[in-house]
Amino acid sequence: MTRKTVLITGAGSGIGRELAIEGAHRGYALILAGRTLAALEETRDLAASDACECVLADVTKPQGRAALCAATAGNLDILINNAGILSVGALSVLDDDMLERMLMTNLAAPIALCRDLLPALRAAQGRVVNVGSVFGDIAYPYFAAYSATKFGLRGFSDALRRELWGENVNVTYIAPRATKTGATGAFAALVEPMDMTLDDASRVAQQAWDAIEAGRKEAFPKGKERLFVRIQRMFPRLIDRSVGPQAHSPAVLSALINAGLLTKEKSETSIHEL
């Protein structure tokens, strides 16, 4: 039997690496995409697969996406748009470069890659998998720009699913909560004061693959976040009343200042507004 082929972006670390390892265990042929060849090769070795190709590609660039299209040879069963970056802090501390990099990597690149790979996905009657975030439903303070990109990716997933209706190309949106990866350091100062739950990347990958193979249109983590998503969609004001005050608590503001994610002047204004 011919193995199904899955292309995973951002496969050199974090959730992408674990998706590759889990995919190999489930018998998929892998195309691993990323910007650092050594990291991709390490993922390949950990996956221990005899059907694994590493492709050095920046998905934000046309030439990077062209390399990935060539690697599929015109036939692709599953595209997993996992590559993403995160910049955290008050909006006032995010410069133009941070904003552009997040928008390009987290939103524009997945959209463009889906467009470019649609012929290969149609040929295989395949599936698009977009890795978003719980923050794509619950807009979180100090993650404003990141949340915006994940809201956009969720909206794109729904729109693409409807656009491809009847074409035998399906779409799954995966929304993990905060995960233990190399990116965790960007918001480590907020984990305790904002009472965040961190999941292991391997567990996130297992749940994602379960959702993919079950043909689900979306998947959220088990626990309080799943409940909060439902409340957010029906009664967003309740989330405002919970998260808003938490974001301006002395513990959170102090953590932000100490991490350089909020100016002291902004902190004093926030406390005064309480």
Catalytic machinery residues: 146
The closest alpha carbon to 117, from 242, 249, 6, 223, belongs to 6
- Alpha carbon 21 to its chain's center: 17
8 Å CB contact between 138 and 225: yes
Q: Where are the alpha helices (DSSP H) in the chain?
A: 14-25, 37-47, 62-72, 96-103, 109-124, 144-163, 188-191, 201-214, 224-234, 236-247, 250-258, 264-273
- Identity of the residue numbered 118: L
- Count Cα neighbours of 240 within 13 Å in the Cβ-side half-sphere: 5
CB 167 within 8 A of CB 123: no
